[in-house]
Amino acid sequence: MADQDSKVGHNYCLDVPPASQGFFLKGMDHTDWGMKNRLARIFNPKSGHTVMLAFDHGYIMGSTAGLERLDIVIPPLADDVDVLMGTRGALRAAVPPTCDKAVALRCSAGSSVLDEDMSHEVIGVNVEDAIRMNAACMAIQTFIGAPGQKSSIQNLCNTIDAGNRYGIPTLGVIAVGKEMERTAKYFLLATRMVAEFGAQIIKTYYCDEFEKITSACPVPIVIAGGKKVAENEALAMCFRAIQEGAAGVDMGRNIFQSENPRAMVKAVAKIVHENATDKEAYDLYLSLKLSPKNALQPRVKTKTK
Ligand code: R5P
């Protein structure tokens, strides 16, 4: 009978206020539960930051130095990152589906390094395939100030609308193309525009006065690594970006083209998640790079009976 339940009345904890449901990422308080759940797979809730490993270069560059064999290079790096950022072709072919890392799926396509003007892209992956790939976010490139600006904004907005229907965040990638600026003035304009269109995460490049860009951008920003530089320089850039408000990195060439990619990815993670200085991270890199277990070894074929 219903009134027998009164003996467990103390379980209602009438004197305990309801748990606060605040969310740790800026600008994301009013998104839906599924969107937040995916964002919490991308960004570590403890540090509030993310290490994304970018290996989507093939979609414009073809076989890129360091990524000739995705199946050998990418899986050993996955343990130390939060997110794998790649194309669906690379992910399906080279990353085992047992891998539990969040996926940032490259969803724009349509230009190549052979093009004079690379700013004309299309949506190359629809939201249904992103769901099939269990994507934690969809990455779309925008070309603010370039001839393809309008269509790239259309690609972005269509993807944000589709992602909002299913609770999948969109990562707005700020392209710099061949001739485009890499100044604070340009990134202030482009990051703010893309955030106001509704992208939940922005990827841009590090530049002078970076703290102005992170301050004026209402959602988390991650930085691309750019062309390969010496390991200590890449770590110094990473450290400055985090100090100046970046929520993480989406780094490719400075990891997979490193002399020791496994040591480098651990050093990057130390800055991003553990607040280490670039000096501490570089010392870690130097100590780890000597260890044979951090060398990327081609898989040895085993004999089958
Ligand atoms: C940019 O859109 C590219 O596809 C890469 O994802 C990006 O540039 C990050 O890679 P990297 O650190 O090599 O610049």
The CA 253 to ligand 1 mean position distance, Å, reads: 7
Q: Where are the alpha helices (DSSP H) in 62-209?
A: 70-73, 88-94, 127-132, 149-166, 184-197
Cβ of residue 226 lying under 6 Å from some atom of ligand 1: yes
Backbone angles phi, psi at 85, to 5 degrees: -110, 110
* Least confident range of 16-20, 59-63, 100-104, 281-285: 16-20
Domain ranges of the chain: 43-225
Cβ of residue 251 lying under 6 Å from some atom of ligand 1: yes
Q: Which residues contact 186 (CB under 8 A, 6 or more apart)?
A: 144, 145, 180
Cα torsion angle, 48, 26, 35, 52, sign: negative
CA distance 43 to 39: 6
Q: What is the mean pLDDT of residues 33-45?
A: 98
Say which CATH architecture domain 43-225 belongs to: Alpha-Beta Barrel (3.20)
Q: Whose CA is nearest to atom 9 of ligand 1?
A: 224
Q: Whose CA is nearest to atom 3 of ligand 1?
A: 57
Contacts 24+ apart (CB under 8 A), 57-64: 57/252, 57/253, 58/87, 58/89, 58/90, 59/87, 59/106, 59/109, 59/124, 60/111, 60/112, 60/113, 60/118, 61/112, 61/113, 62/112, 62/113, 64/253
Catalytic residue among 101, 203, 266, 289: 203
The CA 15 to ligand 1 mean position distance, Å, reads: 52
CA nearest to 66, candidates 222, 251, 208: 251
Cβ of residue 107 lying under 6 Å from some atom of ligand 1: no
What pLDDT band is residue 204 in, cutting at 50, 70 and 90?
Answer: very high
Q: What is the mean pLDDT of residues 23-31?
A: 96
Which atom number of ligand 1 is nearest to the Cα of residue 175?
2
The CA 1 to ligand 1 mean position distance, Å, reads: 64
Which atom number of ligand 1 is nearest to the Cα of residue 253?
13
Reading the block at residue 68, the tokens are: 């000739």
CA distance 70 to 53: 12
| Residue 194 reports pLDDT greater than 80 | yes
| Residue 304 reports pLDDT greater than 60 | no
Helix, strand or coil, per DSSP, at residue 152: helix
Cβ of residue 262 lying under 6 Å from some atom of ligand 1: no
* Least confident range of 76-85, 103-112, 179-188, 218-227: 179-188
pTM (2 d.p.): 0.93
Q: Is 203 a catalytic residue?
A: yes
Cβ of residue 252 lying under 6 Å from some atom of ligand 1: yes
Q: What is the mean pLDDT of residues 151-161?
A: 98
Query: 241-279, pLDDT tens digit by residue?
Result: 999 999 999 999 999 999 999 999 999 999 999 999 999
Cβ of residue 57 lying under 6 Å from some atom of ligand 1: yes
